[in-house]
């Protein structure tokens, strides 16, 4: 949804809204051209129509405020725009919305079954100017993206297919994710943020790149949080390690310091590199592949229940208001990330600390690293107790 487009206006806000609309058009798969049926066709409408035609995107022309028969004849004027047959609606009264949605959906791509041969996708994410594009170029062996000291040089997510160890991968280089308040008034950056977060959602592995000189910032932690919440395999890449005085900051001290802020993500492996010099870049894909394998971990029901039983025996659930949580059995529900369902007598008795204990016990017992795991607590059905 964009602001109103005024093609000829010199007003600063109008110019910003026009730029926002241009970016929205660039990123859209389908464009809804909304017109005012009561005001009729205007010169501004014709200018906007010209701009939309140049986009070569599917356009659904919609004439709003047609809530009375007396306005219906005015619709014919909009045919002169030459952008298909206008659909009449009244957003206020809910008229014609079904026809409009049918037309929009007709342009959506058909959903296909995911192929098992689809490339494994790796998103390289982080703040602006931490060396993401330099890392992409180092991995690909050639300059695929513009490398600059100006933060945010990469405006969009750029996909680069490549082969490593006879396996097909796609690298997704993203624009730096800035703090929301710093991009609030910068439309270009706002779209970059949206696409960067979308890259995290669609990737299989997230390489979180941080600047060794700057250290871990609040924004780095937020980015890591997005990756964790999406359940992605992940590796923390500490770039520009060649610029650090090793007698002052050793890798071990740096790692301990970062894990204080990344306590929720203590499983993440860290790699200290220099994308510029190539230091340890050859280790990136090894660690990324390992993280993905961990994200796809499967555990048999028998082994899982043995470990859960052992965990409960070692540390019984605490009593809450005279009632004790009883853990009956568990099963794995899925992968990417590994997800386990634990059936209990009363789910509300499961304290977060005991849930975390069980998660850590599973993680340690099966040596699960580089991926979040999810624990779902469910009440055992009565039929299962018999």
Q: What is the pLDDT of residues 79-91, one digit of tens each?
A: 988 888 899 999 9
C-alpha distances in Å from residue 246, one per residue of 81, 237, 257: 67, 17, 15
Q: What is the CA radius of gyration of the chain?
A: 27
C-alpha distances in Å from residue 113, one per residue of 110, 116, 198: 10, 9, 20
- Asked if residue 160 lies in contact with residue 171, where contact means CB atoms within 8 angstroms, the answer is yes
Smallest Cα–Cα separation from 196: which of 232, 223, 222? 223
Smallest Cα–Cα separation from 289: which of 122, 118, 116, 117? 122
**Which residue did the predictor score with more confidence, 157 or 184?**
157
- 61 forms beta bridges with 33
Pairing of strands 233-239, 205-211: parallel
Query: Which stretch of 12-26, 159-173, 192-206, 270-284 has the lowest confidence by average pLDDT?
Result: 12-26
The whole-number pLDDT of residue 194 equals 66
**Which residues belong to CATH 3.30.300.20 in the chain?**
301-385
Query: If you average pLDDT over residues 48-52, what whole number do you get?
Result: 88
| Chain centre distance of CA 187 | 19
How confident is the prediction for the chain on average, in pLDDT?
83
**Does 382 have pLDDT greater than 80?**
no
The whole-number pLDDT of residue 147 equals 43
**Banded pLDDT at 116 (limits 50, 70, 90):** very low
* Phi, psi (rounded to 5 degrees) for 238: -95, 105
Torsion of CA 274, 278, 280, 281, to 10 degrees: 100
Query: Which stretch of 110-119, 143-152, 277-286, 377-386 has the lowest confidence by average pLDDT?
Result: 143-152
Q: What is the pLDDT of residues 321-344, one digit of tens each?
A: 889 999 999 999 999 999 999 999
- What CATH number was assigned to the domain covering residues 12-105? 3.40.50.300
Smallest Cα–Cα separation from 63: which of 51, 52, 54, 76? 76
Pairing of strands 323-324, 319-320: antiparallel
C-alpha distances in Å from residue 30, one per residue of 24, 26, 50, 105, 305: 10, 10, 16, 9, 49
| Spatial distance between the Cα atoms of 37 and 200, rounded to a whole number of angstroms | 41
The whole-number pLDDT of residue 297 equals 97
Q: Is-cis flag, bond preceding 363, omega within 30?
A: no
Q: Which run of H or E residues covers position 80?
A: none
**Which residues belong to CATH 3.40.50.300 in the chain?**
12-105, 120-295
Mean pLDDT comparison of 138-147, 164-173, 227-236, highest-scoring range: 227-236
**Which residue did the predictor score with more confidence, 151 or 195?**
195
- What CATH number was assigned to the domain covering residues 120-295? 3.40.50.300
**Banded pLDDT at 305 (limits 50, 70, 90):** very high
The whole-number pLDDT of residue 383 equals 53
Q: Which run of H or E residues covers position 241?
A: none
The whole-number pLDDT of residue 11 equals 67
- Three-state SS at 250: coil
Query: If you average pLDDT over residues 175-191, what whole number do you get?
Result: 50
State which fold the 301-385 domain adopts. Answer: GMP Synthetase; Chain A, domain 3 (3.30.300)
Smallest Cα–Cα separation from 122: which of 199, 219, 210? 199
The CB density around residue 106, as the number of other CB atoms within 10 Å, is 10
Q: What is the pLDDT of residues 346-370, one digit of tens each?
A: 999 999 999 999 999 999 999 999 9
**Does 386 have pLDDT greater than 60?**
no
Query: Which stretch of 14-18, 24-28, 94-98, 303-307 has the lowest confidence by average pLDDT?
Result: 14-18
| Spatial distance between the Cα atoms of 8 and 64, rounded to a whole number of angstroms | 23
Query: Which stretch of 61-65, 201-205, 251-255, 263-267 has the lowest confidence by average pLDDT?
Result: 251-255
The whole-number pLDDT of residue 134 equals 87
C-alpha distances in Å from residue 58, one per residue of 55, 79, 107: 9, 16, 7
Query: Which stretch of 14-18, 89-93, 250-254, 311-315 has the lowest confidence by average pLDDT?
Result: 14-18
The whole-number pLDDT of residue 195 equals 64
**Banded pLDDT at 244 (limits 50, 70, 90):** confident
Query: Which stretch of 111-120, 261-270, 301-310, 331-340 has the lowest confidence by average pLDDT?
Result: 111-120
Residues 238, 215, 225: CA angle, nearest 5 degrees: 75
Q: What is the pLDDT of residues 13-36, one digit of tens each?
A: 666 667 767 777 877 889 999 999
* Phi, psi (rounded to 5 degrees) for 60: -105, 115
The whole-number pLDDT of residue 316 equals 93
**Which residue did the predictor score with more confidence, 117 or 357?**
357
**Does 299 have pLDDT greater than 90?**
yes
């Amino acid at each position: 949804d964009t602001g109103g487009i005024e093609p000829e206006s010199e007003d600063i806000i109008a110019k910003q809204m026009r730029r926002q609309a241009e970016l929205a058009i660039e990123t859209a798969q389908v464009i809804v051209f909304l017109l005012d049926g009561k005001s009729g066709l205007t010169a501004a409408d014709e200018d906007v129509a010209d701009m939309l035609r140049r986009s070569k995107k599917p356009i659904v022309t919609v004439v709003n405020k047609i809530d009375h028969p007396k306005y219906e004849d005015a619709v014919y004027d909009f045919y002169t725009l030459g952008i298909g047959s206008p659909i009449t609606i009244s957003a206020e009264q809910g008229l014609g919305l079904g026809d409009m949605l049918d037309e929009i959906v007709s342009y959506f791509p058909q959903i296909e079954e995911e192929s098992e041969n689809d490339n494994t996708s790796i998103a390289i994410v982080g703040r602006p100017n931490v060396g993401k594009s330099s890392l992409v170029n180092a991995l690909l062996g050639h300059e695929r993206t513009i490398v600059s000291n100006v933060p945010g040089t990469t405006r969009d997510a750029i996909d680069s297919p490549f082969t490593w160890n006879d396996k097909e991968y796609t690298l997704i280089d993203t624009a730096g994710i800035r703090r929301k308040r710093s991009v609030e008034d910068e439309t270009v950056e706002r779209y970059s943020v949206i696409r960067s977060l979308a890259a995290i959602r669609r990737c299989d592995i997230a390489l979180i790149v941080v600047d060794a000189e700057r250290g871990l910032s609040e924004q780095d932690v937020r980015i890591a949080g997005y990756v964790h919440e999406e359940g992605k395999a992940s590796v923390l890449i500490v770039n520009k390690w060649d610029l650090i005085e090793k007698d002052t900051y050793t890798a071990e001290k740096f790692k301990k310091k970062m894990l204080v802020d990344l306590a929720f993500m203590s499983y993440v492996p860290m790699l200290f590199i220099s994308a510029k010099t190539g230091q340890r870049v050859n280790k990136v894909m090894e660690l990324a592949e390992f993280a993905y394998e961990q994200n796809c971990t499967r555990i048999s029901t028998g082994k899982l229940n043995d470990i859960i039983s052992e965990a409960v025996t070692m540390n019984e659930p605490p009593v809450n208001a005279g009632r004790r949580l009883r853990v009956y059995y568990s099963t794995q529900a899925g992968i990417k990330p590994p997800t386990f369902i634990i059936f209990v007598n009363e789910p509300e008795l499961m304290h977060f600390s005991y849930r975390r204990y069980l998660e850590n016990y599973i993680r340690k017992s099966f040596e699960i690293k580089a991926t979040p795991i999810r624990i779902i607590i469910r009440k055992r059905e009565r039929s299962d107790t018999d």
